[in-house]
Amino acid sequence: MRTMEEVSPPWGSWSVLDDNAAFKVKRIEVMPGKRLSYQKHLRREEHWYVVKGQALVTLEGEVCTLSEGDSFNVAKGASHRIANVGDAMLVFIEVQRGDYFGEDDIVRLQDDYGRT
């Protein structure tokens, strides 16, 4: 098990809490007014659990709002994005399941930071 990898992209930060062959768990923080890429993954699905803040989620073009205690599933291959629409830091836990969890499994469809 590998743990506690930390990364600081332009929208906030994430750290790996658990990483093994069956799943990967991240703690993700998104700064107010920021959002992740509109993206998809070919080899994993994700489950998000909001622990702090307000999120706007886009899944396959459909939009919904999540609050503290809400959770959301993203199927493998589904286009998705999460944005912080609150005034405080958005914090959520992401559980990834699939056969590969590398960051190179991100297909960016749109990105605010020029990473497409």
Q: Strands, E, within the chain: which ranges? A: 6-7, 12-19, 23-30, 38-41, 44-52, 55-59, 62-66, 71-74, 80-84, 90-98, 106-110
Q: Give me the pLDDT at residue 6, please.
A: 78
51 or 1: whose pLDDT is higher? Answer: 51
What pLDDT digit, counting tens, does each position of 52-91 carry? 999 999 999 999 999 999 999 999 999 999 999 999 999 9
Q: DSSP character for 33?
A: T
Percent over 70 (pLDDT), the chain: 96
- The whole-number pLDDT of residue 4 equals 62
State the pLDDT at residue 115: 86
Ordered structural domains, the chain, with CATH: 6-110 (2.60.120.10)
